[in-house]
Amino acid sequence: MKIKVVLIGHPNVGKSVIFNNLTGLNAIVSNYPGTTVEIYRGTVKRRDYVIDIIDTPGTYSLLPASQAEEVTRRIILEEKPDVIVHVVDATAIRRHLYMSLELMELGIPIVLAVNQIDRAKALGINISRKELENQLGIPVVTCIAVRGEGLEALLDAVIEAHEYGSPTHIKYSDDLEKQLRVIEEVIKEKLPRELKRFSRFIATLLVLGDKEFKGLESIVPASIRKILSEIGKDLILERVTKTDNIYSKVVTITKAKKTKLSRIDYISVRPAFGIAIMAVLTLLVTYGILGLMHEVGHRTPSMLYYNFYEPLVRSVVEKYIPPGIFRSILVGEVSGIYKSMGLLTTGVFFVFFMILPMILVLYFILGVLEDSGFLPRLAVSFHRPLCKMGMTGDAIMPCIAGTGCSIVGVLSTRILRGDKERIIASTLMVLGIPCMAQQVMIWHILGRYGLIYILLLYIILLSIIILVGLILDRVILGGSRTLLIELPPWRKPQLRSVLKKTYTRVLDFLKTGVPLVLLGILIINLAYYTGTINVIAELFSPITSGLWRLPPEVGIAIIIGALRKDVAVGILGRYELSPIQMLTAITVITLSFPCIGSFVIVLSEFGIKRTLKIIAIMFATALTIGSFLGLLSSL
């Protein structure tokens, strides 16, 4: 027999730990249909049951404030789970109970999983499981997910809940119940068949002002419609009173309260100081390692390449494949990393010797940052300055993801609440934040001229981001400045989780990035082999040499930038450029177009009109900044 279970809870309560522990390695990640929000599905066997488990994005309320939260609600309404497991953090159980009451309106069997019970005990918070069960009328299980304790009991409780059927929803005061029943009855008629069973739940959404079901308001009798908002307020207040009652019966506190704050948390609310410290910390760790790797790692791969790899590949290919276009595609006409542009020579070197080792390390660092609880703190520090650029502190999280890859960054803007904020964050990301693979290439290519040029490039890009952000805030109207964020406790990142993330991201680079890297190299190779390069150079020379003061052939690198920017930067290695020229070329490659991957994502997220606007902004910025740098280089 099958039981379909959905895991629900606030962010950072240990939902995913429970999920991973229960389902092991057989979990499948997919985007929820019609959205780009990732959800995880897995299976576990217990007694005679096959239990299918769906893990949902962390959610504070069933009244969604972001697309990620919308997905959670859609999963409940559309997937028809047999049982909901509500995961809560034992150390802050009172506020989680509000959501338990919200979930109980659904009429779906619920199991409450009270996680981190050990930490609660250490803090002197004692929770009576039996009493909580009595009060709520649903099975309650305590667990310590990181140690796997209590998870078998959780599965048994799921089976029990499934066998016993739905919980009765909570009972409010007579007046409120009567009003809700009137609403429920009239909307039941209008609801599509599959939603009829949720009529009670939808009635509560309606009085709370939910956007999706707002259309139903018009059919509510006028006498009630008039006071809909008051009913909503009563509903919230009655829920709060119920939570407080349950809490006082279930929890006893035996120790004086201790704050969860650490020194650094105080610092993170102090604007200027906070930003300075947080930013310096991040940069030091990330770029310290990048710099070190560049120093250590640059010579070794080149040495390996010239002494062993290329001679070997070249001799084999030249032995079996006659001279001609095919041989040229594989190993190029001349030797050298940047000269040959063969798939087996330059292609393999770019991917496996240059990009891969470094992005492995960088993605690992990104994973550690994400799992440590650092990013929400960064969001707090950056709230004020980001407000001036039309965003809120929350936008820092997608932007950090964007330093890995704009595709991921643009997708994660879905956690943001405002449309304006989403479009500005996405524009700034594709415009001025180079992806990890491109940054690695920049370090290789620009690093040869000295670290100062890398620093200069970052200063230029940062200034552009700030300037364009300030302008966009004034051009795009509306937007919200609200910030309401929870700071999770600092956590020691779990090696397993960080490795898993790194693995997924690197695999993604191998699957979707590498074919494009190779395609880029192939195009260059053919452009040189067929002589098309001269036509292209000629065509774009008014811009490349006229405005940007670069050799005309560099135009090809900028065009390849529309495919993959890391290859585009890599190609620059074959030209003899002055430091300022190299800086100009890399700047315009970064600014001028989105790469094909980010283009597709921006298009699907924002539609053709806004995508074209973004590209126009990019190209205009590239023209201006490139011309300015061009002037500098000709001085």
Which of 265, 333, 419, 508 lies at the binding interface for another protein (CB under 8 A)? 265
Question: Interface with another protein includes 60 (CB under 8 A)?
Answer: yes
Cβ contact 9:17 at 8 Å: no
Least distance (Å) between residue 172 CB and another protein: 15
Cβ contact 515:351 at 8 Å: no
- Fill in the per-residue mask, 393 to 432: x = in contact with another protein (CB under 8 A), - = not in contact: x---------------------------------------
Question: Interface with another protein includes 73 (CB under 8 A)?
Answer: no
**Closer to another protein by Cβ: residue 226 or 270:** 270
- Fill in the per-residue mask, 88 to 127: x = in contact with another protein (CB under 8 A), - = not in contact: ---xx-xx--xx--x--------------------x-x--
Question: Interface with another protein includes 245 (CB under 8 A)?
Answer: no
**Closer to another protein by Cβ: residue 171 or 211:** 211
Least distance (Å) between residue 207 CB and another protein: 7
**Closer to another protein by Cβ: residue 164 or 266:** 266
Distance, CA of 386 to CA of 175 (rounded, Å): 46
Question: Interface with another protein includes 392 (CB under 8 A)?
Answer: yes
Question: Interface with another protein includes 226 (CB under 8 A)?
Answer: no
Cβ contact 362:436 at 8 Å: yes
Question: Interface with another protein includes 78 (CB under 8 A)?
Answer: no
Strand 83-89 to 2-8 pairing: parallel
Q: Which of residues 464-503 bind another protein (CB under 8 A)?
A: 481-487
Retrieve residue 297's tokens. 């790692």
For residue 39, how many C-alpha atoms fall within 13 Å in the half-sphere facing its CB? Answer: 26
Question: Interface with another protein includes 229 (CB under 8 A)?
Answer: yes
Question: Interface with another protein includes 383 (CB under 8 A)?
Answer: yes
**Closer to another protein by Cβ: residue 210 or 508:** 210
Q: Which residues contact 179 (CB under 8 A, 6 or more apart)?
A: 207, 224, 227, 231
Stretch that binds another protein, among 167-175, 237-245, 519-527, 535-543 (CB under 8 A): 237-245
**Closer to another protein by Cβ: residue 207 or 588:** 207
Burial of 255 from C-beta contacts in 10 A (0-12 / 13-18 / 19+) = exposed
Stretch that binds another protein, among 35-43, 228-236, 399-407, 585-593 (CB under 8 A): 228-236
Other CB atoms closer than 10 Å to residue 114's CB: what's the count? 23
Helix/strand/coil (H/E/C) assignment for every residue in 289-306: HHHHHHHHHHHHHHHHHH
- Fill in the per-residue mask, 305 to 344: x = in contact with another protein (CB under 8 A), - = not in contact: ----------------------------------------
Q: Which of 60, 59, 55, 111 is nearest to 86 (CA)?
A: 111
Which of 233, 299, 448, 491 lies at the binding interface for another protein (CB under 8 A)? 233
Q: Which of residues 201-220 bind another protein (CB under 8 A)?
A: 207-210
Stretch that binds another protein, among 56-64, 309-317, 359-367, 507-515 (CB under 8 A): 56-64
Query: Phi-psi region for residue 303, left (φ > 0), alpha (ψ -120 to 50) or beta?
Result: alpha
φ, ψ for residue 139, nearest 5 deg: -65, 140
Which of 1, 28, 227, 237 lies at the binding interface for another protein (CB under 8 A)? 237
Stretch that binds another protein, among 58-66, 106-114, 397-405, 541-549 (CB under 8 A): 58-66
Cβ contact 154:129 at 8 Å: no
Please report, as a single letter, which amino acid is at residue 605: E
Distance, CA of 189 to CA of 195 (rounded, Å): 10
Stretch that binds another protein, among 55-63, 143-151, 169-177, 314-322 (CB under 8 A): 55-63
The residues with which 42 forms a beta bridge, in sequence order, are 53
Question: Interface with another protein includes 259 (CB under 8 A)?
Answer: yes
Stretch that binds another protein, among 107-115, 231-239, 292-300, 578-586 (CB under 8 A): 231-239
Stretch that binds another protein, among 156-164, 235-243, 428-436, 560-568 (CB under 8 A): 235-243
Cβ contact 430:405 at 8 Å: no
Stretch that binds another protein, among 27-35, 238-246, 355-363, 444-452 (CB under 8 A): 238-246
Cβ contact 330:317 at 8 Å: yes
Question: Interface with another protein includes 240 (CB under 8 A)?
Answer: yes
Other CB atoms closer than 10 Å to residue 311's CB: what's the count? 12
Retrieve residue 367's tokens. 């994973």
Number of residues that bind another protein (CB under 8 A): 47
Burial of 322 from C-beta contacts in 10 A (0-12 / 13-18 / 19+) = exposed
Question: Interface with another protein includes 200 (CB under 8 A)?
Answer: no
Torsion of CA 322, 325, 327, 330, to 10 degrees: -170
Mutual angle of helices 396-404 and 419-432, in 10-degree steps: 30
Least distance (Å) between residue 106 CB and another protein: 15
Other CB atoms closer than 10 Å to residue 259's CB: what's the count? 6
Q: Which residues contact 276 (CB under 8 A, 6 or more apart)?
A: none
| Residue ranges that bind another protein, judged by CB under 8 A | 10, 60-61, 63, 65, 91-92, 94-95, 98-99, 102, 123, 125, 207-210, 229, 232-233, 236-237, 239-240, 244, 257, 259-261, 265-266, 269-271, 380, 383-384, 392-393, 481-487
